[in-house]
Structure 1
């Protein structure tokens, strides 16, 4: 036989079927080939292996000793190839005990995650989750090394580490929060009034880019003074409740604080961008059945969440 480098591996399929059928016409039908094409393939097999392989006898086509010796080897190789090329097994949430790790914003964790988890547990009782902060390391090594499965809720980013896939997930309206005792601010702010206020904001743990709000103000020739950068919304809201500062945050989070603290909602400038939340995963694992399932259920949840408009529905 010539070097394997010059051997057409498609001929292994032809050999296997010929050995089973021992008839050129039937083998051609099984392989959906014309008889001349099958005869040509058999000729190539014989030339490559330097053996007739099948010989016509009074009992029909019979395999040579070389063909009989090759058959189990070829069957084993083809079985391994079929197994290797078969699509991965579907992920079964009902039977899985998989623990997923999500890096999220505290907006997702507070407003959406409890409902998301409670809905999943109804049909995937063995699944569990760990929640982590979104950090630069999580967006690079964390995703690549599969320390986390997905980043959920981060505002759309223009620059991300190589190999990372970002897809739109959910948009949320922004509002301002002020203390109820703050009589310097009415029910709405224009962009100039907005820039003049003292501000509280969340620290950019991801470290990827300047605040969308600051970028918007710069486009209008404005800047603002931030007196406090906090790691979570509740601490920031408590600062607002005790000072003259304002805070800009997603509406559904702000409505929670109105029920908890002496604060009220204020309509923000129309120029402010909406919060464009995304799902981020690594391309290495995007086709993994478990990741495919997680990505799908997060998107289904987002669609239901938008339709209901009530995070405590269901």
Structure 2
């Protein structure tokens, strides 16, 4: 198709209708009358020789052709915004920008409540789209997954190669046990730590966590009876069990009362973890992303 004969503004109409599945809502989001929006949609349908959207049960359902087109429009429009945004300011109060962020359940737990409350007041039209975290290196995630940011963590303060980053939260580790544990009450010795059975949190199925690494440096191993992917689910496995679970202190404090658990300091020196916000250097000068980073600094630092 010759783009010289195609009105690219029609892709904005397409994008909003695909998002809202309602002509009235899509038109309102673009500050257009419904008649003007419908006229533009008719032009796009004629140009592409496809109805694109069909009304089913009071909702505009995308045709197969529209679903295919949406895959490309969803990638193209953010790139155009990125290019145009370099030369203009970012008005958060009116922007409908969608920030795409990859995160684990724990980084979401620490990050999103405060951020979304803030955005609801300061940037009510902005959207946050959270995608599952990946075991890929941070740089590869940012390059391959069309992301604005990755929420991750590390146990040292050395910068990651090839990415920009901001450490926005640091904390220690605690060990949780059931209050009815027959052998562990108010203290946890190193010998008990080695003898008891453990739950290991491994987000991507890795065979060693930070606790295992510390023990290996000491010439020891632990007995892992259960391996689990979620920091937020793992504490719920402790009630009525004899397992030990070493996890971030912030989560441990919140779950210990409701779950009748005892929180103890681990008998080994586990390095503090640092929650990080990562972004690609190519987006470092983007006005929207710079605004986002400044909001994170103001809220958490």
Same fold (TM over 0.5): yes
1:101-133 Cα deviation digits (max 9, x unpaired): 222232232244112211221111011112222
Partner residue in 1 for 2:126: 127
Pairs within 5 Å for 1:18-33: none
Q: CA deviation at 1:301?
A: 1.9
The 1:177/1:154 distance shift into structure 2, 3 A limit, reads same
Pairs within 5 Å for 1:138-217: 139-145=138-144, 147-156=146-155, 163-205=162-204, 210-217=208-215
Q: CA deviation at 1:286?
A: 2.0
User: Contact 1:214–1:223 (CA<8 Å) still a contact in 2?
Assistant: yes
> What is the CA RMSD across the aligned residues, in angstroms?
3.0
User: Contact 2:175–2:264 (CA<8 Å) still a contact in 1?
Assistant: yes
Q: CA deviation at 1:183?
A: 2.9
1:33-86 Cα deviation digits (max 9, x unpaired): xxxxxxxxxxxxxxxxxxxxxxxxxxxxxxxxxxxxxxxxxxxxxxxxxxx9x9
Answering whether residue 274 of structure 2 is matched by residue 276 of structure 1, we say yes
Answering whether residue 103 of structure 2 is matched by residue 99 of structure 1, we say no
Q: CA deviation at 1:210?
A: 4.2
Partner residue in 2 for 1:259: 257
Number of positions where the alignment pairs a residue of Structure 1 with one of Structure 2: 219
User: Contact 1:103–1:132 (CA<8 Å) still a contact in 2?
Assistant: yes
Gaps of 5+ in 1: 1-83, 304-314
TM-score normalized with structure 1 length: 0.61
In structure 1, how many angstroms separate the alpha carbons of the residues matched to 2:128 and 2:145? 14
The 1:157/1:258 distance shift into structure 2, 3 A limit, reads same
1:212-235 Cα deviation digits (max 9, x unpaired): 221111121221121112121233
In structure 2, how many angstroms separate the alpha carbons of the residues matched to 1:179 and 1:289? 49
User: Contact 2:201–2:209 (CA<8 Å) still a contact in 1?
Assistant: no
Residue range with higher mean Cα deviation, 167-176 or 133-142: 133-142
In structure 1, how many angstroms separate the alpha carbons of the residues matched to 2:269 and 2:237? 25
User: Contact 2:200–2:209 (CA<8 Å) still a contact in 1?
Assistant: no
TM-score normalized with structure 2 length: 0.64
The 1:165/1:210 distance shift into structure 2, 3 A limit, reads farther
User: Counterpart of 2:192 in 1: which secondary structure?
Assistant: helix
In structure 2, how many angstroms separate the alpha carbons of the residues matched to 1:139 and 1:239? 30
User: Contact 2:106–2:232 (CA<8 Å) still a contact in 1?
Assistant: no
In structure 2, how many angstroms separate the alpha carbons of the residues matched to 1:121 and 1:261? 32
Answering whether residue 109 of structure 2 is matched by residue 89 of structure 1, we say no
User: Contact 1:166–1:279 (CA<8 Å) still a contact in 2?
Assistant: yes
In structure 1, how many angstroms separate the alpha carbons of the residues matched to 2:86 and 2:113? 33
Quick one: which of 229, 232, 245 aligns to 2:230? Answer: 232
User: Contact 1:176–1:268 (CA<8 Å) still a contact in 2?
Assistant: yes
User: Contact 2:103–2:130 (CA<8 Å) still a contact in 1?
Assistant: yes
Gaps of 5+ in 2: 1-82
User: Contact 2:203–2:230 (CA<8 Å) still a contact in 1?
Assistant: no
Q: Which has the larger radius of gyration?
A: 1
The 1:210/1:270 distance shift into structure 2, 3 A limit, reads closer
In structure 1, how many angstroms separate the alpha carbons of the residues matched to 2:167 and 2:157? 12
